[in-house]
Structure 1
C-alpha cells in the first residue's frame, strides 16, 4: 500500500504521497473536492498523471527531443512522455521524496538529486505543504548544488474538477503550440484578460506575463490561485473531467531560469477557497 500523509485543518483534508513524486492525492473541504482526487487505481499504479497535483522541478513542460545545450556542451536526457520524443515536467514528479517533517496540518518533503540520465545537474529540493481551514499552500524550493550556474526552476501542476468550471486570469501573451507541442509565435492579449468556461475551450497553451493571480468558479465553489512566478500553462482537454492551471517560471523548451551555485529558486502555489456550498 502506498504511504500517504493525511493533513487536516477544520473541515479541510489533504493527502500527500511522498513515494509518488511527492504528489498531492487529494484536497477537500467538507468533503467537496477542490482538486481532482486521485483514484485508487492511479495510486496503486503509481501514475503521477492521475494525481491531484505534482511538483515541477528542475523544469516544467517540454524540452524538445530531450536535448539541450548548456555552457558549450550538449546534454541528452531521458525522454519520459512516449510517444513524444521530448522530456517533460522535470524529475520531481517521478521521484521518491523523503519525509522530513509530518504534522497534523503540515508536511515537509525533500529530494536530493545528484545528477543522472534524467537530469545532469545536482540540486536539492524541498516541498512544504501547509493546510488551513480554507487554504492549501505548497512551497517548492530548489538549491543548485553545482559549482557553476545551472538551469533550475520550480513550478506546480494541479488538476481541478472541470464540471461547471470557469477560469479567469490576466496575462500579456499566449504561446500556441505547434504540431510538436512546442511554443510557436506569441499572440498578444490586447486587454490581458483570459476568461472562459472550461468546457467550451480545449487548450494546451503557455501564457507569459501572468500577474500571479487566477480564479476558478464553479456553481458550488470558488477558488483563488496565487503564485510569485510569471508564467502559466493552461490544459483543458476536451471532454475530460479535469483541467490544469499550472503556475510555472518559464516557457516550454526554454531553460531561462538560471541559478548561481548555492542559490535557490522558489515557486509557491497558494489555493484559497473563497466559497464552498456543500450539497448545493
Structure 2
C-alpha cells in the first residue's frame, strides 16, 4: 500500500500529497497556509484535502438506479444515512511520476456489486507562479457505460482571523437547498435575498453553509473564481476552475461535535455534478466504454 507522501515546490508554493487517497495534506505559499492541513502522523480528519470520485457529496441511503438497475453503496455516513464522497479517498494510489514541481498518481476503481464499473483515474498536481494546479482524467476501461463525478475537498484559509471575519466572494446565483437533518437536496433557489448571496464580496459572519451552488458567473477566460480573504491582513486564497465543473459545494466547517475543528477553514469543492446526481442525472458524466473525461482546478494565494 502506498502510504508515502510526496513534496513538490514551485513559484513560492509547497504542497505535500499522500499516496494514500491522493490526499493534499499541506499547501503553503511562502510559508503561509492556504488550506487547513493535518499532521504527518494523523489520519485525514473531516475529509481535509480528499480526492472525491466517482461521485461528489452524498447519495441518500447509498441507493441509486442507473440504466434501469438498482445498486446499494456502503453507507459511510451513518448519522445521515448516506454514501459520502466516493470510493477513492481511502485507497492507495500508484506513483506515476514525481519531479520537484509535479506529481502524477493513478488508481483503478475495480468493479463491485455496489459500483460494477471499471474506471482508471489519473491525477497530476503541479506548482508554478500561478498556483497549485490539479488535473484529473477518468477513463472507462470496462465493458459497460459508467456514471461518474469528481471534486476536490480542500478547506481554504483566508488568514489568521476567525472565519466569521473572512470575506467571501462566490459568483453563484443559485443555491441547492437541503433538508436540515440529512443535508439532502430539496430544490434549486435564487440566492437573492438569502444569507447565501456572496456575489458581492462580504463577511461570512455567523452564516452556516453546507450547500451546493450553481449558476456560476464565468470570466472572459471561461473561469469561475471563489475568493476568501482576511481583511485584517489583506491575505487570502482563491480557487479557480472552468465550465467542466458547473457546481461548487461550500461548507463553513461547522462541527459542533468537534469544537476544536469547527470553522477552521472554508471548504470549496468545484463539482462536475450536484449531490444525488446518480439518481437525478443532473449534470452527470456518463462514460461509454473507452471514453475519458478531464477537468481540473487551481488554488492560488491572494
115, 138, 146: which one aligns with 1:150? 146
Structure number with the higher helix fraction is 1
Contact map agreement 1:60 1:250 (CA 8 A) in 2: yes
When the two structures are superposed, what TM-score results if normalisation uses the length of structure 1?
0.88
> RMSD of the TM alignment (CA)?
2.1
Alpha-carbon separation, structure 1, partners of 2:95 and 2:68: 37
Instruction: Give the deviation of 1:122 after TM superposition.
Output: 0.9
Instruction: Give the deviation of 1:2 after TM superposition.
Output: 4.5
Matches within 5 A, 1:67-216: 67-116=63-112, 119-161=115-157, 163=162, 164-178=165-179, 179-190=181-192, 193=199, 195-211=201-217, 212-216=224-228
Contact map agreement 2:133 2:297 (CA 8 A) in 1: yes
Instruction: Give the deviation of 1:28 after TM superposition.
Output: 0.7
Residue 285 of structure 2 aligns with which residue?
257
Residue 221 of structure 1 aligns with which residue?
235
Contact map agreement 2:13 2:132 (CA 8 A) in 1: no
Aligned length: 269
List alignment gaps of at least 5 residues for structure 1: 275-280
Instruction: Give the deviation of 1:213 after TM superposition.
Output: 1.9
SS for the counterpart of 1:270 is strand
Residue 245 of structure 1 aligns with which residue?
268
SS for the counterpart of 1:172 is strand
Instruction: Give the deviation of 1:47 after TM superposition.
Output: 2.5
Instruction: Give the deviation of 1:190 after TM superposition.
Output: 4.0
Bigger drift between 53-62 and 204-213 goes to: 204-213
Contact map agreement 2:53 2:85 (CA 8 A) in 1: yes
Residue 28 of structure 2 aligns with which residue?
28
Alpha-carbon separation, structure 2, partners of 1:122 and 1:216: 37
Contact map agreement 2:47 2:153 (CA 8 A) in 1: no
Instruction: Give the deviation of 1:160 after TM superposition.
Output: 1.5
Deviations 1:60-102 (A, max 9, x none): 0001100101111101111112322210111121111111000
Residues 234/7 of structure 1: CA separation in 2 closer, same or farther (3 Å cut): same
SS for the counterpart of 1:247 is strand
Residue 61 of structure 1 aligns with which residue?
57
Instruction: Give the deviation of 1:197 after TM superposition.
Output: 2.3
Contact map agreement 1:78 1:118 (CA 8 A) in 2: yes
When the two structures are superposed, what TM-score results if normalisation uses the length of structure 2?
0.82
Instruction: Give the deviation of 1:199 after TM superposition.
Output: 4.1
